[in-house]
């Protein structure tokens, strides 16, 4: 770094620089705008106008079919945008119907009154509980007018046609009646539960059961809180802090803690209790020859199956359902055995389970 050269001791004075300032001007007074001049125009933002509110489903459909924007307000619901799109015409005319964020398909025989049937579909869809609306894929008007046919997608993305009707009780609960491909069950729950989630899963689990056995289940209940009998079962099973995910028997399955325990293994286990009862002359939850089969095999499928014969049968049925649905499971670990492994390890138990599953063994009770 070069040293800074010393100063000579003289002071150098720079010549004065003359600063030239612009002349000051007086602010001019703005002339008043003359009527009709450009200055008199005031730009305004155009006001958005809401579409008209249709008073009835018929009026909403009439306006939507003309391509007009319209709002429809169902009873006890906010007004929502409503539109109809003609998707295809043939023997059936297919429409895409949108109400708010929800959309469904509706098909009408081309020779029938399109407007009237569309109005009925809108009125019916408006009655669908809000928790179910997002899952509705299609609506068909029934002669009963107290239900809908919907396409529910299961967790694998496959669609199933389900006939659903519902009613509310005085305590705010909901009872759903669901029929899918010949199967049928009733679901009772609270309005606070995610009924769409539970119903879609239960329909899927139910559909995996062979049709001849589905009549073993009549009702499903969703309950808040734990099983009131947990203390009793804790003593019976000698398990401290025992907590039931679900219970089953006499044609019923009850899930506790809302929808948290609605899972395939729990459903299959509790369904097994109902199934075992159908093959018992003593009205217990396992077939008459089950205890002898367990004794002959010398072991059961799980630690919980050691509790008693009823739990051993329910666990064996659940395990076999895992065997038969190994590519469609929520609990994938541990992986289920193959059919051959199941038969080899539990030959007598497997024989009973497979006879029931295949329909070879005749039920001792009607559905």
**pLDDT tens digit sequence for 79-113:** 999 999 999 888 889 999 999 999 888 888 887 88
The pLDDT assigned to 268 comes to 96
Asked if the bond preceding 175 is cis, omega within 30° of 0, the reply is: no
Residue 42: phi, psi to the nearest 5? -115, 120
The pLDDT assigned to 4 comes to 38
Beta carbons within 8 Å of 150's beta carbon, 6+ residues apart = 132, 135, 136, 137, 138, 139, 161, 162, 164
The pLDDT assigned to 38 comes to 45
The pLDDT assigned to 17 comes to 42
The pLDDT assigned to 159 comes to 63
The pLDDT assigned to 367 comes to 57
| CA 195 to chain CA mean position, Å | 7
The pLDDT assigned to 275 comes to 96
CA dihedral of 256, 261, 263, 267, whole degrees rounded to 10: -20
Q: If you ran DSSP here, which 8-state letter would residue 138 be given?
A: B
Measured distance CA(279)–CA(359) in Å, rounded: 12
Name which of 34, 28, 126 is nearest 77 in CA terms.
126
Measured distance CA(205)–CA(46) in Å, rounded: 55
The pLDDT assigned to 8 comes to 42
Measured distance CA(176)–CA(166) in Å, rounded: 4
Measured distance CA(309)–CA(315) in Å, rounded: 10
Measured distance CA(195)–CA(204) in Å, rounded: 14
User: Which residues of the chain carry a pLDDT beneath 70?
Assistant: 1-48, 129, 131, 141-160, 168-172, 180-183, 196, 332, 365-367
The pLDDT assigned to 34 comes to 53
Q: Which two tokens stand for residue 162?
A: 């389900």
Place of tokens 């509310």: 168
Residue 56: phi, psi to the nearest 5? -140, 160
Give the SS3 label for residue 165.
strand
């Amino acid at each position: 770094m070069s040293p800074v050269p010393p100063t000579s001791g003289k002071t150098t004075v720079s010549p004065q620089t003359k600063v030239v300032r612009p002349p000051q001007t007086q602010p001019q007074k703005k002339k008043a705008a003359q009527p009709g001049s450009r200055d008199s125009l005031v730009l305004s933002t155009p006001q958005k106008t809401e579409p008209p509110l249709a008073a009835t489903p018929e009026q909403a459909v009439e306006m939507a079919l003309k391509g007009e924007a319209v709002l429809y307000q169902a009873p006890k619901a906010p007004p929502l945008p409503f539109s109809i799109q003609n998707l295809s015409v043939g023997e059936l005319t297919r429409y895409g119907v949108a109400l708010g964020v929800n959309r469904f398909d509706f098909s009408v025989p081309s020779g029938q009154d399109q407007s009237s049937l569309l109005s009925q579909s809108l009125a019916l869809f408006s009655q669908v509980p809000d928790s179910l609306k997002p899952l509705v894929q299609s609506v068909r008007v029934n002669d009963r007018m107290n239900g809908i046919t919907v396409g529910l997608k299961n967790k694998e993305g496959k669609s199933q046609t389900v006939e659903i009707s519902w009613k509310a009780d005085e305590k705010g609960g909901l009872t759903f009646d669901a029929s899918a491909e010949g199967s049928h069950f009733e679901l009772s729950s609270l309005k606070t539960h995610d009924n769409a989630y539970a119903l879609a899963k239960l329909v899927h689990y139910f559909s995996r059961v062979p049709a001849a056995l589905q009549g073993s289940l009549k009702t499903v209940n969703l309950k808040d809180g734990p099983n009131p009998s947990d203390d009793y079962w804790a003593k019976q099973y000698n398990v401290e802090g025992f907590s039931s995910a679900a219970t089953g028997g006499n044609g019923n399955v009850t899930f506790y803690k809302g929808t948290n325990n609605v899972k395939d293994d729990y459903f299959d286990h509790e369904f097994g209790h109902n199934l075992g009862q159908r093959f018992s002359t003593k009205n217990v939850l396992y077939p008459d020859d089950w205890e002898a089969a367990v004794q002959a095999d010398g072991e059961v499928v799980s630690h919980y199956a050691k509790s008693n014969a009823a739990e051993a049968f329910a666990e064996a049925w659940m395990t076999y359902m895992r065997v038969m649905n190994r590519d469609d499971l929520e609990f994938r670990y541990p992986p289920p055995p193959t059919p051959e492994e199941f038969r080899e390890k539990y030959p007598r138990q497997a024989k009973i389970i497979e006879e029931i599953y295949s329909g070879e063994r005749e039920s001792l009770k009607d559905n």
